[in-house]
């Protein structure tokens, strides 16, 4: 950190700054630091317990942090069969590989496991993702659940007092028996903690086997009529209103930055040019550079263009008789 880093303002943890740049979650940024992938002012750091300010130069894998873009949030209808990671060591398909290429680099607010589906919030701001995941935020997650088995409503009501399963304590859960469908039942389950596989484990503890789990709401955001695999952005004004001043401050959200910083816009333009070139090549069409070169070659082969007479017609090969 520079000598000026402690002046004017106290600064922020370096992992938090990396997360806000949209490169990773804060937890992932801390793992990058432990792996020696992050440097500050040219020196590789090994501990996330470092405060930095805007004057410090932070790089990941030798590349400087991108300019910060405006905080954005998206609602995504996750299909079953996709994992909520950017890369999977088992080679399973990831949802981030399926997102439209026009979107910025996004991270998820919490996760849905491989066989779960429904609403997943995505953001380009790691600070916002962390704030919305914290139990202290207290946002309710609501699910539609299909499970094999039978149960009475009074047994479900006891979950409101919390339950301990295999040594793990789960807080209050609201579960409503909606209907029976053959050997299955449909439930609406609401909770605020969102621990790993919480709904499945608690219902299995009650003798039910979950065979479909659909998240329909995360706090004030609902799945609505978004089709499976589609993503919709929450408008900035609506997002600002929903979050409110306290949560915005806690997340450090920035709604005044450009939607797409200049360096990212330039990179996208370069990507589009390369994609167009590749597509023309696949179609058997000449690239722009090849087409221009061919045009110049055709002009050189034919010599100078034919001169025209004053009437703008082609100049005759022999002079006209007078």
Domain holding 29: CATH number? 3.10.290.10
* Active site members: 113
Distances from the Cα of 69 to the Cα of 38, 78, 253, angstroms? 21, 25, 10
Whether 202 and 243 map to the same domain: the answer is no
Q: For 143, which DSSP code?
A: E
Q: Which of 236, 211, 215 is nearest to 226 (CA)?
A: 215
Q: Are residues 154 and 214 in the same domain?
A: yes
pLDDT in tens, the chain (322 residues): 443 333 345 678 898 888 877 777 788 889 999 999 999 999 999 999 999 987 899 999 999 988 778 999 999 999 999 999 888 889 999 999 999 999 998 999 999 999 999 999 999 998 899 899 887 888 999 999 999 999 999 999 999 999 999 999 999 999 999 999 999 999 999 999 888 899 999 999 999 999 999 999 999 999 999 999 999 999 999 999 999 999 999 998 999 888 876 545 444 444 444 445 445 444 555 555 555 555 555 555 455 555 555 555 555 555 555 5
Q: Please tell me whether residues 126 and 192 are part of one structural domain.
A: no
Do residues 77 and 210 share a domain? no
Q: What is the per-residue pLDDT for 261?
A: 61
Q: CA 270, CA 264: separation in Å to the nearest integer? A: 10
Q: Which domain holds residue 247?
A: 68-136+220-274
pLDDT of residue 259: 85
Residue 1: predicted pLDDT: 40
- Asked if 45 and 107 sit in the same domain, the reply is no
188 token code pair: 């609406």
Q: Identify the CA nearest to 134 among candidates 268, 49, 25.
A: 25
Q: How far apart are the first and last CA of the chain?
A: 90
Query: Are both 205 and 226 inside the same structural domain?
Result: no
Do both 153 and 197 map to the same domain?
A: yes
CA proximity to 125, closest of 18, 221, 267, 241: 18
Residues 29 and 152 placed together within one structural domain of the fold: no
| Region for 182 from its dihedrals, namely left if φ exceeds 0, alpha if ψ lies in -120 to 50, beta otherwise | left
Query: Would strands 116-123 and 209-218 be described as parallel, antiparallel, or unpaired?
Result: parallel
Final residue belonging to a domain, choices 175, 200, 218: 218
Q: pTM for the whole thing? A: 0.70
Q: Number of folded domains in the chain?
A: 3
Residues 214, 145 share a domain = yes
Q: Rounded distance, CA 299 to CA 305, Å?
A: 8
Beta-bridge partner residues of 169: 164
Domain at 258, CATH number: 3.30.70.580
Specify whether 82 is located in the same domain as 121: yes
Residues 81 and 114 occupy one common structural domain: yes
- Is residue 79 domain-resident? yes
């Amino acid at each position: 950190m520079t000598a000026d880093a402690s002046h004017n303002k106290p600064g922020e943890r370096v992992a938090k700054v990396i997360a806000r740049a949209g490169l990773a979650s804060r937890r992932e940024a801390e793992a990058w630091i432990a792996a020696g992938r992050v440097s500050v002012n040219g020196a590789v750091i090994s501990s996330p317990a470092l405060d930095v300010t805007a004057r410090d130069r932070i790089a990941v894998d030798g590349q400087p942090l991108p300019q910060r873009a405006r905080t954005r949030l998206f609602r995504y209808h996750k299909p079953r069969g996709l994992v909520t990671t950017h890369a999977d060591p088992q080679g399973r398909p990831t949802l981030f590989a399926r997102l439209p290429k026009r979107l910025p680099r996004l991270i998820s607010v919490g996760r849905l496991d491989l066989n779960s589906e429904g609403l997943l919030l995505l953001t380009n701001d790691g600070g916002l993702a962390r704030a919305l995941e914290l139990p202290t935020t207290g946002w309710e997650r609501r699910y539609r659940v299909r499970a094999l088995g039978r149960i009475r409503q009074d047994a479900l009501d006891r979950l409101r007092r919390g339950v301990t399963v295999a040594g793990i304590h789960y807080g209050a859960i609201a579960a409503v028996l909606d209907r029976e469908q053959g050997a299955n039942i449909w439930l609406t389950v609401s909770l605020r903690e969102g621990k790993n596989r919480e709904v499945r484990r608690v219902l299995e503890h009650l003798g039910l086997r979950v065979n479909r789990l659909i998240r329909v709401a995360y706090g004030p955001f609902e799945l609505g009529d978004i089709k499976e695999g589609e993503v919709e952005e929450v408008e900035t004004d609506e997002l600002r209103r929903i979050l409110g001043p306290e949560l915005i401050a806690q997340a450090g959200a920035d709604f005044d930055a450009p939607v797409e910083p200049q360096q990212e816009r330039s990179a996208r333009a370069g990507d589009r040019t390369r994609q167009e070139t590749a597509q023309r090549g696949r179609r058997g069409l000449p690239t722009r550079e090849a087409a221009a070169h061919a045009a110049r070659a055709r002009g050189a082969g034919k010599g100078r263009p034919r001169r025209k007479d004053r009437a703008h017609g082609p100049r005759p090969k022999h002079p006209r008789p007078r």
